Chain A
Amino acid sequence: GIQVEQSPPDLILQEGANSTLRCNFSDSVNNLQWFHQNPWGQLINLFYIPSGTKQNGRLSATTVATERYSLLYISSSQTTDSGVYFCAVPVTYYGGATNKLIFGTGTLLAVQP
């Protein structure tokens, strides 16, 4: 099955710093999603980004589907950015009727004041 790997596994930043998180996937996909899981376990959908670049405030994401990777950029990090960041890709079944998400290994981010 498809493999989804993220790097780095852990990251510690000082408030205000910038960072880049990477997601590599082993097979072609028709979309990719980035999630932030806060310390209370809530998974928040950050981006739905099959290809190209999207921006939302201090966060932006780029997916290069042909090269099977996606990047999540966090600028001017804040303590509230702490948590685990997951990328996830769908496995679509026959006829596209259903899909399940395969989650990456995650990046644990700690932003220190």
Chain B
Amino acid sequence: EAGVAQSPRYKIIEKRQSVAFWCNPISGHATLYWYQQILGQGPKLLIQFQNNGVVDDSQLPKDRFSAERLKGVDSTLKIQPAKLEDSAVYLCASSSPGTGDQETQYFGPGTRLLVL
């Protein structure tokens, strides 16, 4: 079974530029999560999708961050404009409600963003 795929793996941009990250969850997983992991901290949930609907985006800085999952499969997270403090690893995870393993989130390798 293929895992969660993310691209790109690394990205360097200057502040005020825009950037987008892509995630393809495990096949059949209805729930998709985006996390931000700042160096030295644990991952922090940014947004959670159930199919193509948003379940929780309470910690998403909506003035600059946006995310979509139009067809309920892959997802894109965008930052526009980027700030220095957005430098972090952005992790995508997926889970499958109603399968008996719905509590377990499976993570992708992450996208490491550096904002200069």
A and B co-occur in one complex: no
